[in-house]
Structure 1
Amino acid sequence: MPSRTTVGVVGGGPAGLLLARLLHQAGIDCVVLESRDRGYVEQRQRAGILEQGTVDALRACGAAERLDAEGLVHDGIELRWNRRGHRIDFPSLTGGRRVRVYAQTELVKDLIALRLADGAPLLFDARVTAVTGADTDRPVVHYTHQGAERSLHCDFVAGCDGFHGVVRTAIPAEELRTFERVYPYSWFGVLADVPPSCDELIYAHSPRGFALHSMRSPAVSRLYLQVPNGTDPAAWTDGQIWDELEARFAVDGGWRLARGPITQRAVLPLRSAVTEPMRWGRVLLAGDAAHIVPPTGAKGLNLAASDAVVLARALAQWAATGTTAALDAYSDARLQAVWRAEHFSWFMTTTLHSAPGQSPFDTRLQLSQLDRIAASPHAAAELAENYAGLPLV
């Protein structure tokens, strides 16, 4: 087991694995510690929408072979309200940018396979218990693996271990500020073995609540319903789920929702959170360890990938020149992008969902905003630019 490395990467999700890939290509040694086993990590269901910038980053580091072969290219999304639909065309509004549908499970599998093929250290079932010396030039990651307590001495520690991870606790509480919002509704998500009833994602505003039609592949549909917090997914029959989806997606015309066997179901609470700063001493945060967004804007995975790209560049500059200028700027630069993504995610969420006890006045404001997007190329471009991804800085 390695006891010394340049960068200790805690967390084997997209942020940690992509960071490790980029560091490896830059000739910077790192060790990835993941608390779960490989099977769990590769089956952990999360987002599946990749911005243009994320795709470009994966291609640049040689991690997009399967993505390019199997990912679904989407040039837009459809908004539905008042039994009408309106398509937002990304390339025409963003100068050619588009998104791809590629499940996080598949991206993680690709990055793990590359890491192992490189023979680079990736330890599963390695539970980090503490990070000490964050304010020194030799922080230490303490962890247990194969029944033994171990220590990893690092130049830097990258916390990619999620919002409730251990690395955040290495930063003194008085140095951290966390801003949070908990939404008064959840998403009831299902996977169904049925070809999608649409070519691109459908976001529906309905008097009955929000609904989203997505997909995992040409043969598997991914669908969501807005439900009250605390909803028991087992309380719904398959028929009730399909009936409710059909009612919320209803539009005038001949469109129909295809039904099929539901294979998975889960209720996902919606919340936002941002931790400031994203760097303290030799500890740096990335991905969910630093920020959480509701999934309505499809930003979570893409923010994590952007964190990894910017952090890898900063560490490469340090390794090549000894200067910490880019590392010193990491937190401020990323927080600007994070808050932009938080605002867009909040906008999409509050525009499309009906809050408990919502007044008719507030509903009229939502409908007015949707009408504005349909009527104004400027409003549509603002949505498209944020959804397809703003340029990485």
Structure 2
Amino acid sequence: MQFRDLKKQYQKYKHEIDTAIREVLLSAEYIGGRQVSELEEQLAEYVGVKHCISCANGTEAMTLVAMAWGVKEGDAVFVPDFTFFSTGEIVSFQGATPIFVDVDRDTFNLDATKLEKAIQKTVKEGKLTPGVVIPVDLFGLPANYPEIEKIARKYNLLVLEDGAQGFGGNINGQRACSFGDAATTSFFPAKPLGCYGDGGAVFTNDDELAQLIKSLKVHGKGDNKYDNVRIGLNSRLDTIQAAVLKVKLQAFINHELEDVNRVSRLYNEGLEGIIEIPLIPEGFYSSFAQYTIKLKSNEQRNNLKDKLKQKGIPSMVYYTKPMHQQGAFANLEFDENDFKVTNELCNIVLSLPMHPYLSDQDIETIIREVMLNTC
């Protein structure tokens, strides 16, 4: 059994993927081939924004936006404490200071009430200038953008949606990667829409921001690649990855997004009342990058993980350590009491196998083993 079965996906779309890759090999346009611009157009249309700018990976997608916005030393950037390291890393990379904010226990996402308190505390201290908030669409569920954007406007903050895990989710029909002032996603293979290597993209309705990011991602180019008008990066999505993503995007739209939600419904039916299952608020739709349950204790979580492994069932812990406890941020000051939810979640969460090709038999097996080892 696979945690996320990329082999089955390839087997189903082998002809289409092989053909797409072969076209690139025959054209020899490995960088900047037509498939890249075609993919960007298709992604922008799907998400519902004017611009999609592809790049090398999801981390650099966020870095490009931070560079374009001029995030710098002395700025405070608000980041959820329960997320992957890169969201805070790109802040420090710019010389700014990440301010970690606890999350909502039900959704795993940035807690809007605690966000406002963190902003007020930062303003009162007067050491840093609040500039940006980076909500994360954790495990496929969009963050609470209606509330977060309201707070951001109140304090004149820019909002960067980290949609690395959220692509395909929506809030009342508005799709992930269309929120805030800009959004980013990752095409890492295990993401809801993944390629066969690294890849990422920036989404925005801001024409000027789009043009600036197009320059920054190719060494700060001006009219051509030998006219360099600013310091930038080398951050391009290669043509083979774009060709693969074009095939996968159609599969994602045609059935994969609905299929993972079907898997989640079957999990919910079997596990409700046994353990804490994911909560999807009314009006929200998840792309289920992960199906994450909560156990009663660290001991119970670890025991279940071990028992599942003995039965050949993979599971993962996202995340074992809060952002504020990462060694790279050891220079930052914090109050441990501000992160009670995140500290608890790191001890009790467990993600079960989740992908569009999970069979009913495998789902039943997983549910049975969870029930046997938690009751």
TM bucket normalised to smaller: under 0.3
Q: With the length of structure 2 as denominator, give the TM-score of the two structures.
A: 0.25
